[in-house]
Structure 1
């Protein structure tokens, strides 16, 4: 008899420890799940908030990479500082200063897209159980981010002009939040822009009650009609308590994964330390190329071409919605950005209708996941950026086949 026989069967392995509670409690992005359904090339998708790839300045970006790799290969292929490439921070600071927000390079931290900026802020500011106020509806990934931080997210009533200052003041007094998160210009998902009077009221509430303002501005440079509205960060009442986040994803290239945050010194330093623990720093070569692009190419001329194309695409979408959506539907006409927000008549469920739409090779994003409170199932978000006007018109024809059936 062998020793293994005497020992008997090996004991069953113990299960691995469970996932952290936050990982189990925060679901996957429904938008990302929808995008997986629409990868077939024949699908005309109004779902993704993606810039138009044919409008990328491919030659200019390639030239910028070629220059930095030819002239400074040892530097741009090496590790670099957490705060970010000095030339890139200087270029961003110059652009912000030129729009009426005096900014120095030292005021900025370069991040892996503005999404990381939001994660760094949540790490630096929020304890589990802290309260965060958001517009309703709001950017879906922000809800995920605050959920991972263990925050309690409270929606504030909003209307066609954005967050309601009166409702905000009541919520601040009732909830005692640590921060308010806003996308005040061409908001995702609604495309709305908060008017100056409301921005001033928001700044006054923040100053009076002592809370942080997080101003997410990835779309502000995509205005193709109307007059710009001053940033919250530029208002005197909010200057010492506003974090401004921006991104190169919508104006240069999302694949470079570069964004930035502008914040008061102590908070910015805390974000630098948090970033050191996440990824040390953003890609050195991508930062160097972005800085070279901004100094040697005319980003504004490039954006003029992008804005002109997006305006045509928005017009094709908005002008065709009356024939595509059921009678009684409503929608807005944003002055820029990437999104139109629509609402079907009572009794319609945009989530339930989506799978039928995909079988007709057209897609959109249901509005329900963007709500922090009770969702409105009749809402949907339509992006107009990634298809030509003719493709948009064909997509609306397909959409009408689904949404107007039985109306």
Structure 2
């Protein structure tokens, strides 16, 4: 019997490349590697005891509910707790404004699925969050980069590009951005909101790092501004403040878009894990998450400072980097002529790693840039990693 050829993979799937960050993590999984590559929370800081106790209580008190199918919108108690936390941080929110998602990445996927037709234009920060580029590519969107500077997205450039391109939405991470760690000032946030109102596009405001502030004062969400309240989707996550393995996120959106996202979620996974939602809701009732986050912030501040203190001796003369007020990342630019991607294998041979900056660009990449995460290692390991990086970048042969 002649066997016919199988149909090809869908073009939209075939066009989306693997994440370079995930590929680098696979290459640097050896325990001896000091990795500044992944944006990973520190596992030794997880409140494993409190989370285990929450699961124990849920399974002891209401096993039938915790192990059963649930509603698509999410656990009512968890949604109420999230709404209370957002309201307490300056964004009045009701439980009915929220949809619980399987991580905030699913929230972004649902928004893209709901709002975008193939060929629609999406504006993104340049450089910006790598997985958002994958998400929009999978949706068949046309991605247009908006230039940034040391304060983040440039309002004048946004105004000019929005007038020319007529985008459907703008995606950005305004607080402790991935990959740069930058925070968009309040005046620029208002300019973004006004541009959205003037040109008729939606805003997707991703905020996975907002509670990890070490210096300075909080800046109001774009979603809290009157000019943007009817057109902003806020994405949030428990991954950075509780545990990423729970895969719990949420989106806050105007009613019509929220309903459409709930329908899209029904077709994706029916609902997020019932038992994980119930355990998270129980944890928020029984434990003091704010106190836990304060402990995490203290540890991360020390790690950020250890990285910043060591960079002058680790990097070539003429290198530049920023000092983020929070989050997980420092953005570095090596001197002209350096290529961070080409130097990475040498660094890995010295048992240290980072992420080259080029993949984060939707426009013309800067090969001299790189991202360094400081959260996954304590200060003494960070200092050792920087010593290894200094040897790698200076051309010192790796030890066998």
TM-score, with structure 2 as normaliser = 0.98
Q: Secondary structure at the match of 1:243?
A: strand
Tell me how far 1:402 sits from its aligned partner: 1.3
Note if 1:56 corresponds to 2:76. Answer: no
Distance 1:145 1:279 in 2: 17
| Structure 1 residues not aligned, in runs of 5+ | 1-9
Mapped pair 1:327 → 2:306: no
Cross-structure match for 1:180: 170
Equivalent in the alignment of 1:102? 92
Partner of 2:308: 318
State how far apart, in whole Å, the 1-side matches of 2:194 and 2:108 are. Answer: 23
SS at match of 1:372: coil
Matched position secondary structure for 2:211: helix
Match of 1:161 in 2: 151
CA RMSD for the aligned pairs?
Answer: 0.7
Equivalent pairs counted in the alignment come to 396
2:279 aligns with 289
Instruction: Provide the C-alpha distance between the structure 1 equivalents of 2:393 and 2:329, rounded to a whole number of angstroms.
Output: 19
Q: What is the aligned partner in structure 2 of residue 4 from structure 1?
A: none
Residue by residue over 1:240-294, the C-alpha shift from the partner in whole angstroms, topping out at 9 and shown as x without a partner, is 0000000000000100100000000010000000000000000000000000111
Matched, 1:262 2:252: yes
Equivalent residue, structure 2, for 1:403: 393
Over residues 316-369 of structure 1, what are the superposed CA-to-partner deviations in whole Å (9 max), with x where a residue is unaligned?
001100000000000001011000000000000000100111010000000000
Matches within 5 A, 1:8-407: 10-11=1-2, 13-405=3-395
Provide the rounded CA distance (Å) in 2 between the counterparts of 1:224 and 1:70.
Answer: 38
* Structure 2: distance between partners of 1:200 and 1:122: 24
Write out per-residue CA displacement over residues 32-79 of structure 1, whole angstroms, 9 at most, x where no aligned residue. 000000010000000000100000001110111011000000000000
Deviations 1:198-223 (A, max 9, x none): 00000000011110000000000000
Q: Secondary structure at the residue paired with 2:174?
A: coil
Task: Quote the offset at 1:24 in angstroms.
Answer: 1.1
* Deviation by residue 1:182-237 (Cα, 9 ceiling, x = unmatched): 10000000000000000000000001111000000000000011100000000010
Structure 1 residue 395: Cα displacement = 0.1
TM superposition shift of 1:123 = 0.3
4+ residue runs over 4 A deviation:
none
Distance (Å, rounded) in 2 between the aligned partners of 1:400 and 1:15: 52
| Long gaps (5+) in structure 2 | none
The offset of 1:295, in angstroms, is 1.4
TM-score scaled to structure 1, two decimals?
A: 0.97
Query: SS at 1:39's partner residue?
Result: coil
Determine the C-alpha separation between the residues in 1 that align with 2:177 and 2:194: 21
Q: Distance in 1 between matches of 2:394 and 2:284?
A: 47
Please state how far the C-alpha of 1:100 moved relative to its aligned partner.
Answer: 1.0
The separation in 1 between residues aligned to 2:395 and 2:368, in whole angstroms, is 15
